[in-house]
Structure 1
Amino acid sequence: MAIEQLPDGRWKVDIEPVKGKRYRKTVKTKGEALRFEATCRTKCIESRDWSPKPKDRRKLSELIDRYHHLHGHTLTDGARVRLILLALARELSDPVAVSLTANLYCEVRHSQLSAGVHQKTVNNRLGYLKAVYNQLRRLGDIDYVNPLDFVRPLRLQERPLSFLTSDQIAELLEALDVRQGVPGIGLVARVCLSTGARWGEAQGLTPDRVRNGSVTFANTKSKRTRTIPVAPSLETSLLEHFKRHGLFSNCMLTFSRALATTSIKLPAGQATHVLRHTFASHFVINGGNILTLQKILGHSSLAMTMRYAHLSPDHLQDALTFNPLFDTSSTVTKSQKQKTPKTC
């Protein structure tokens, strides 16, 4: 018999649609059994080489390794992302990847948040895990939908961006310049303040990328090179440094130590990146164009650059004159003056 019910209530399919090709499968319902039988007979008629694809029983950790092998290794921080994903798989008890549910993931996310994991970190992990399923499906390595498709990232409270005032910039540069053991650390900071570069981009400059009154940043986060004009004095200082000391050394830790000796207090997680925020903030405060700023910073999306828009001198100034508490009697417009009759 092609289909029969087993004592435990399940249904067993045992068919041989083509001589020498026999297919067996155990399913939960009779409907599934009938569909499997019909599929096998139809496919074997269309192609004698067809055979049903076995169910994907790979664990989540195996899928993560497969993702890293096919795609993850091409990412700038691919090795770090793989370790984060494997740790997340262990927290999820490493289920069969196809059986992972949004409910299970959210339970583990709740535990992470209760343990003090930052919401931004949790959102990053969700994005990494979604990328595993999405990328493998695009590559044809899995044939099922992403089980986390409908899990939304947490809505984060936006924090005001911190940037340095002119006095704080002078104080910081003075603290960096006295660090004689690390030549050029103050120069790297000046490059960041003059171009909005990330610390790693400025620290990675080479003599051939400083020419014609500009600096060119390579190996950037967006994978694109950027060329930004700089003052002649900064260009001269950079070339003199390369001639006397060679390339910049890794001095990010020294920067943090120098920063700690100043009166400057920054939010947790900010150190060298405050220089990039400072450039962008002063650029907008001084009337710079937001689209030009996007190109200078190398943002792929204007939404990232718009974080600085509120610093523009005319940003939402209508709120000052159009609010219900504004005293209109204290303001006399030019047209009102013209309508006022002259007295003898």
Structure 2
Amino acid sequence: MIKKLPSGRWQVDLRTDGRGSRRIRKSFDSKAEAKRFETYVLTKSAEGKEWNPSKADNRRLKDLIQLWFNAKGVHLKDGERRKRCLDTIADFMGNPVARTVKPAAFLAYRAHKIQEGASKKTLNNHLGYLNAVFNQLNRLKEIDFDNPFRHVESIRLDERELSWLTVEQIRHLLTTIEGFSQNPHVHLLTRICLATGARWGEAENLQLRHVQEGKLTFVNTKSGKSRSVPVAPELFKEIQEHLKQHGGFSFSLSAFRRALEKSGIQLPAGQSAHVLRHTFASHFVMNGGDILSLQKILGHSNVTMTMRYSHLAPSHLLDAIQYRPVF
């Protein structure tokens, strides 16, 4: 639409794609100039181009990482660690202009890290961190280009071996800790994890205020949600007395690892104190506990994680005998 203004100038006022699209208004000294401009804009629109495109976004990858950190990462428990990881990835790629980065840049980084011995799970996490940066900034309208890594597939992982301790191994481990370790906390921490399925760090974080009414309340958990687990009266009283005496637990994971090595118990690579959590869950199911209760005790956000232990249920084991082929 072209109209004459009270000032005597001629104004072009149009929307190239109808109501809701970008509105363009520009004034000219003559109607002929206005008409030429209108024709130019409509021609560009027909070609799928803007008549006045915005300036190219030349921010580099580390600039976007910083934006993501300010908006989201600063609120995450591991936000600073993630940012350091992302900066390292960006440096490997040469810190390119973010809108020009290609999937091949990450694939080269991943291949290099695999040669260095990085685990597949770690590299899948790194891909997830990059996706989070672009997806978050897209949602916030900080960038107007697509996530360049959205079609990069994660590495398929083999199901991790689920290891747990037998009753004999539990007794042997506790006896080894008692006779070998000088750490005043490690024996009790081991029994807390075995009795509740707590992660080692969750048990170490216990304070006297978290030990109330026969229950242990674990806070600052991996899921961010607190949970309470009851324990036997004797263990409850021992924990209370220990915390009154010592004020809290100190870092004791190294002491546990040394005692575990001394015990001679063989575990899959990368597993140490987490075997205590697996042991609680495995014995819980083998002794007839149900999966949904176990999910709540372990603090899993969904039951899929807890289902890893379902094959240990007595009914499952009996079915294997009852319905096996007869020969």
CA distance in structure 2 between the partners assigned to 1:266 and 1:296 by the alignment:
24
Matched with 1:262 is 263
- Cα deviation for residue 54 of structure 1 reads 2.3
Matched with 2:57 is 56
- Identical pairs, percent: 46
- Cα deviation for residue 148 of structure 1 reads 1.2
TM-score in terms of structure 2 length? 0.82
Matched with 1:200 is 201
Distance 1:19 1:164, change over 3 A: farther
- Cα deviation for residue 111 of structure 1 reads 2.8
- Structure 1 segments unaligned to the other structure (5+ residues): 1-15, 21-29, 41-51, 328-344
CA distance in structure 2 between the partners assigned to 1:219 and 1:108 by the alignment:
33
CA distance in structure 2 between the partners assigned to 1:232 and 1:222 by the alignment:
28
CA distance in structure 1 between the partners assigned to 2:323 and 2:272 by the alignment:
39
Matched with 1:109 is 110
Matched with 2:14 is none
| Cα deviations by residue, 1:301-337 (Å, 9 ceiling, x for unpaired) | 11111111111122275454445x414xxxxxxxxxx
CA distance in structure 2 between the partners assigned to 1:98 and 1:279 by the alignment:
49
User: Tell me, what secondary structure is at the counterpart of 1:315?
Assistant: helix
Distance 1:86 1:291, change over 3 A: same
- Cα deviation for residue 179 of structure 1 reads 5.2
| Cα deviations by residue, 1:153-206 (Å, 9 ceiling, x for unpaired) | 111111220111111111111222235632121111111000000011111111
Greater shift, 55-64 or 290-299, is seen at 55-64
User: Tell me, what secondary structure is at the counterpart of 2:229?
Assistant: strand
CA distance in structure 2 between the partners assigned to 1:116 and 1:259 by the alignment:
25
Q: For the Cα contact (< 8 Å) 1:64–1:86, is it kept in 2?
A: yes
| Cα deviations by residue, 1:134-169 (Å, 9 ceiling, x for unpaired) | 111122221222111111111111122011111111
Matched with 1:71 is 72
User: Tell me, what secondary structure is at the counterpart of 2:295?
Assistant: helix
Distance 1:180 1:271, change over 3 A: closer
Please state if 1:224 is matched with 2:225.
yes
Paired residues for 1:77-96 under 5 Å: 77-96=78-97
Q: For the Cα contact (< 8 Å) 1:64–1:85, is it kept in 2?
A: yes
State the one-letter code of the partner of 1:232: P
- Structure 2 segments unaligned to the other structure (5+ residues): 1-24, 30-42
- Cα deviation for residue 18 of structure 1 reads 4.2
Distance 1:33 1:107, change over 3 A: farther
Paired residues for 1:299-318 under 5 Å: 299-315=300-316, 317-318=318-319
Paired residues for 1:184-199 under 5 Å: 184-199=185-200
Matched with 1:333 is none
Q: For the Cα contact (< 8 Å) 1:320–1:326, is it kept in 2?
A: no
Deviation >3 Å, runs of 4+: 16-20, 30-38, 178-181, 316-323
| Cα deviations by residue, 1:200-222 (Å, 9 ceiling, x for unpaired) | 11111111111111110111111
TM-score in terms of structure 1 length? 0.79
| Cα deviations by residue, 1:79-117 (Å, 9 ceiling, x for unpaired) | 111111111111222111111222332233223223332
State the one-letter code of the partner of 1:107: A
State the one-letter code of the partner of 1:182: N
Q: For the Cα contact (< 8 Å) 2:181–2:259, is it kept in 1?
A: no
CA distance in structure 1 between the partners assigned to 2:254 and 2:118 by the alignment:
24
User: How many corresponding residue pairs?
Assistant: 291
Please state if 1:286 is matched with 2:304.
no
Q: For the Cα contact (< 8 Å) 1:92–1:104, is it kept in 2?
A: yes
User: Tell me, what secondary structure is at the counterpart of 2:83?
Assistant: helix
User: Tell me, what secondary structure is at the counterpart of 2:276?
Assistant: helix
Matched with 1:339 is none
Q: For the Cα contact (< 8 Å) 2:286–2:314, is it kept in 1?
A: yes
